[in-house]
């Protein structure tokens, strides 16, 4: 009975751990299918439409190049039309190079269509898709009225004339030759990419849920292990910090640390002796500026701001001010203290130079 009780208790604890995570993943998957996937589909469609537009713009630039050669007298109009037609007829892009361009004129009459040569030279004014839309008349209205735009309709799937699917095409008028250039995006391509994305999301989510269910107890053990390691690391850091402070206490110069607001957070024994402060004073809070004469505070503060921005404060000369009011010339070196990417303050060394007879080389007056 007791063993069964503990077994049931362990199962309840497992559910408390697994259930919130599983619910989170379920909500995540729902949000992906309700919010993220539809938005992704919209963005993908916009990207493909933008690509179609840019491709048509490229073709019209090529046509403009042929027209320029005609104007210069390099080739005849008939030669330009033939050369441009052959170039565009053979121009392909996309998967398996089955995406294409077509050209019809403002009549409308088909000029070039790689996959529908049967329409070339024919009047398209009465052509309608299976929904009854006058496709080419609408394309002409968009191209001649706005210079270019998108038209939705039904058309054959690339080179498969037996497969009729929705398509969105961008058409643009090449005014000099009264040609309308077009290329399009098959809606089914977008839906196929979305379906693949949705399937990948389901597989990944299912794998994550199974992994959590199978390994949740190992996660708990890992958490305890990491917590213990963190505690040990804190102990080591405290030992290192203590050694650092013991070492600085042996130095004959003042070593200090301050936070980003300029409040002293640490000063070695020599510093406290030199300036006349004690540990209690440091705990109450002393401004770093208070270690120097008031007339130099503005310059010091500006220099400390430079240190916070990442510049080293190398061998600057200032006048120190002790608690009793005594003044001494000193050299100050300071640099930035960071913890990861966070700027936590600055560290500096103050050296009394009142006993030096000659100025030190490389010393910059603060």
Backbone angles phi, psi at 263, to 5 degrees: -85, 130
CB-based burial, 5-19: b 16+ in 10 Å, e otherwise: eeeeeeeeeeeeebe
CATH architecture of the domain covering 12-193: 2-Layer Sandwich (3.30)
Structure tokens at 147: 């210079």
Domain locations along the chain:
12-193, 251-365
Please give the full DSSP string across 106-120, using - where no structure is assigned: SS-BEEE-TT-GGGB
CB-based burial, 206-238: b 16+ in 10 Å, e otherwise: eeebeebeeeeeeeeeeeeeeeeeeeeeeeeee
Closest-CA residue to 152 (of 140, 162, 164, 138)? 138
CATH architecture of the domain covering 251-365: 2-Layer Sandwich (3.30)
Residues 6+ apart with CB under 8 A from 363: 315, 316, 317, 331
Structure tokens at 70: 């005609």
Backbone angles phi, psi at 356, to 5 degrees: -75, 135
Strands 342-352, 148-157: pairing kind: unpaired
Please give the full DSSP string across 68-112, using - where no structure is assigned: HHHHTTSS-HHHHHHHHHHHHHT-EESGGG-EE-EEEESS-BEEE
222 CA to centre of own chain: 31
pLDDT higher than 70, residue 126: yes
The predicted-structure confidence for 266-320, as pLDDT tens digits, reads as follows 999 888 999 999 988 888 888 989 999 999 999 888 888 887 777 766 778 899 9
What pLDDT does 337 receive?
A: 85
Q: Is 298 helix (H, G, I), strand (E, B) or coil?
A: helix
Q: Do domains 12-193 and 251-365 have the same CATH topology?
A: yes
Full-model pTM? 0.51
What pLDDT does 142 receive?
A: 96
pLDDT higher than 90, residue 82: yes
Bridge-partner residues for 255, per DSSP?
Answer: 349
The predicted-structure confidence for 39-71, as pLDDT tens digits, reads as follows 888 888 888 999 999 999 999 999 999 999 999
Residues 6+ apart with CB under 8 A from 123: 107, 108, 109
């Amino acid at each position: 009975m007791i063993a069964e009780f503990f077994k049931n208790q362990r199962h309840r604890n497992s559910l408390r751990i697994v259930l919130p995570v599983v619910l989170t993943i379920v909500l995540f998957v729902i949000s992906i299918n309700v919010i993220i996937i539809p938005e992704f589909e919209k963005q993908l469609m916009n990207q493909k439409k933008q690509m179609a537009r840019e491709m048509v713009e490229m073709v019209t630039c090529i046509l403009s190049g042929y027209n320029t050669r005609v104007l210069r007298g390099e080739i005849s109009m008939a030669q330009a039309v033939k050369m441009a037609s052959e170039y565009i007829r053979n121009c392909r892009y996309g998967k398996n190079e089955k995406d294409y361009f077509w050209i019809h004129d403002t009549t409308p009459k088909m000029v070039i269509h790689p996959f529908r040569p049967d329409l070339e030279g024919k009047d398209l004014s009465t052509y309608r898709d299976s929904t009854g839309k006058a496709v080419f008349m609408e394309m002409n209205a968009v191209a001649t009225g706005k210079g270019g735009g998108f038209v939705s309709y039904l058309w054959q799937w690339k080179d498969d004339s037996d497969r009729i699917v929705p398509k969105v095409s961008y058409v643009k008028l090449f005014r000099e030759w009264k040609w309308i250039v077009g290329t399009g995006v098959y809606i089914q391509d977008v839906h196929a990419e979305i379906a693949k994305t949705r399937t990948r999301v389901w597989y990944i989510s299912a794998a994550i849920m199974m992994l959590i269910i199978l390994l949740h107890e190992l996660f708990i053990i890992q958490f305890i292990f990491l917590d213990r390691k963190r505690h040990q690391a804190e102990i080591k850091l405290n030992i290192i910090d203590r050694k650092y402070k013991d070492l600085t206490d042996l130095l004959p110069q003042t070593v200090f640390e301050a936070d980003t607001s300029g409040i002293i957070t640490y000063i070695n024994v020599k510093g406290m002796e030199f300036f006349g402060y004690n540990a209690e004073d440091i705990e109450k809070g002393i401004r770093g500026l208070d270690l120097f004469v008031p007339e130099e505070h503005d310059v010091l503060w500006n220099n400390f701001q430079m240190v916070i921005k990442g510049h080293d404060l190398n061998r600057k000369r200032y006048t120190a001010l002790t608690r009793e009011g005594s003044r001494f010339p000193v050299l100050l070196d300071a640099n930035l203290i960071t913890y990861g990417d966070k700027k936590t303050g600055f560290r500096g060394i103050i050296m009394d130079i009142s006993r030096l007879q000659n100025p030190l080389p490389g010393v910059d007056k603060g």
